[in-house]
A and B are shown apart, each in its own frame.
Chain A
Amino acid sequence: MEAILETTNVSKKFGGLQVLDRVNLTVYAGEILGLVGPNGAGKTTLFNILSGAIPLDSGTVTAFGTEIQNKKPFEIATLGLVRTFQIVRPFPTMTCRENILVARLLSTPRPSVKDPLIDELLESIGIAHLALKKAQELTLMEKKKMEIARALATTPKLLLLDEVMSGLNPTEINEAIELLLKLRKEKNITIIWIEHVMKAIVKTADRIAVLHRGQLLTVDTPSKVISDPQVIEVYLGRANHA
């Protein structure tokens, strides 16, 4: 399999706190890689580094064959690595359509307002009826869908999803999982996906990477990861603890 993203010894300190400690992670083209870990494990920090939002202290990040650790966010987005944020961040007073149009500017120099791809995206995500609504008037689920549509509008090769399931009810989670699987199949996108809803990620991901206190504990198939004693210890504490 072809490696699409590779981190080598990525480390980051916030003051005296080692947030990421020599993380070596390889992501292969076409897979859905789940990224899990307790609060404060460094998951979002890793995303921030991958997308260029914050600089790393040491190590390298290679995406699509180029080193990107010194590139700016918009340059990385141009390469095809696009992220969503943990808290939904639509452009509030733009309509859904305009929100997506903004992202279209990246891959097409002159997208028209009637760009068919926008309709196609709205349709496939299932928010076509909301196209002319302002983003701030949408429900949480609708906003999340809109954000995924916006990220997809940049025609990414690698998509970083930061807790897209948080705050959704079980029905919505199932809906979202189906959406992700559909996207991978149709658009041939590689996805790294941070998630706290374990059930969702075990069901969807091809491999799961576990971060704990800034260190990469293990990367393996979901079934192996959930039976890994080390992982259980991190999540539930030691079995024989007094």
Chain B
Amino acid sequence: MNGLVMGAIYALSAAGVSLVAGVMRVINFSHGEFYILGAYFSYYFSVSLGLNPVLAAVVAMGFLFLIGLFIERTLIRSTYGQPMQSMIITFILSIVLQNIALISFGPYPKKPPAFSEDSVHFIGDFNYGIQRLIAGSSSLFLFCLFYLFIKKTRFGLKIRAVAQDPQMAEAVGIHSKRIRLVSFGLAVALAGAAGVVLSPTFPVVPTSGEPLTLSAFVVIVFGGMGSIRGCLMGGLLLGLAENFGSAYISTMYSQVFGFILLIGIILFRPTGIYGNKI
């Protein structure tokens, strides 16, 4: 159960990385930092401004979307076609954002209040359980929303066209720059969403974004580059692998199991579960 919940959250955060990698050919190392920003925003909106936690979550995502647009415009746009530069820029961005978070939010773990008042009435282990359940199901819900958006809407169709062949997309009249801009904003908002749903369970510190970025990349390799279904499968696989590993072998090495599986996948199925190209 735990594995499935974690899996859904992994899938959600990987969806953003996959979107950016697919549409913009940009490897975004700062994805995890947007995740912690999402967590901090929802914390401050709900604790300091006293907003309803659900409302705070939505506002936080909206904020991150705008931040994403701004960052694409200022930093990412000039690196199109140069994967190395974009990697360096997003890597630097990740360090900068970490330190901004450290200065403005402090080094102590922050934990926004739970979404549901009901969960407060439970005590002991159950309290934890319900919270996670909410986190897992809302991740799954957001993930499905994202999936439908990409597969069923006109804008999603444009996004897929730009991802598959940007020049051809322009030739049939798609404004690919704008598509990239919005995609990046969307990806950042997705990262933020993961932060929002996860932080009531796992309080965030300024450096807790890094492992998330890493796991997002692992998930993408599992599922196959540029496949949304792959993100979900990969996320669940990673979540389960880590949990079964911790349960039956040792919690000390929970992350190791994911990486062992990763090595296996790279050896035997380098294109991932659904991937058809690298």
Report which A residues bind B (CB closer than 8 A): 51, 53, 72-74, 77-78, 82-83, 85, 89, 91-94, 98, 101-103, 105-106, 110-111, 150-151, 153-154
Contact = CB atoms under 8 A, between A and B. Distances in A.
11 contacts: A85-B168, A89-B165, A89-B168, A91-B161, A102-B169, A102-B174, A105-B172, A105-B173, A105-B174, A110-B154, A154-B173
Contacts of B157: 98, 101-102, 105
A77 B164 contact: no
A51 B173 CA distance: 11
Contacts of B165: 89, 91
Contacts of B132: none
B171 A77 contact: yes
Contacts of A103: 172-173
Interface in B172-211: 172-176
A102 B159 CA distance: 10
A183 to B, nearest CB: 17
Nearest to A134: B276
A106 B168 contact: no
Interface in B139-179: 154, 157-158, 160-161, 164-165, 167-176
B276 A74 contact: no
A73 B171 contact: yes
- Of the listed residues B154, B170, B172, the one surrounded by the most CB atoms of chain A closer than 10 A to its CB is B172
Given A93-B276, A105-B157, A77 B172 contact: yes
A82 B7 CA distance: 45
B256 to A, nearest CB: 34
B253 to A, nearest CB: 37
A83 B169 CA distance: 11
A102 B170 contact: no
Contacts of B176: 74
Nearest to A110: B154
B55 to A, nearest CB: 31
B164 A94 contact: yes
A83 B161 CA distance: 16
Given A93-B276, A110-B154, A77 B170 contact: yes
A74 B168 contact: no
Given A74-B176, A77-B170, A102-B157, 4 more contacts: A73-B167, A91-B164, A93-B160, A98-B157
Contacts of B173: 74, 77-78, 82, 103, 105-106, 154
Contacts of A73: 167, 170-171
A89 B169 CA distance: 10
A105 B154 contact: yes
Interface in B90-115: none
A85 B166 CA distance: 13
Contacts of A151: 172
A78 B175 CA distance: 10
Nearest to A135: B164
A91 B22 CA distance: 13
A53 B167 CA distance: 8
Contacts of B170: 53, 72-74, 77
Contacts of B276: 93
A77 B161 CA distance: 15
A82 B171 contact: yes
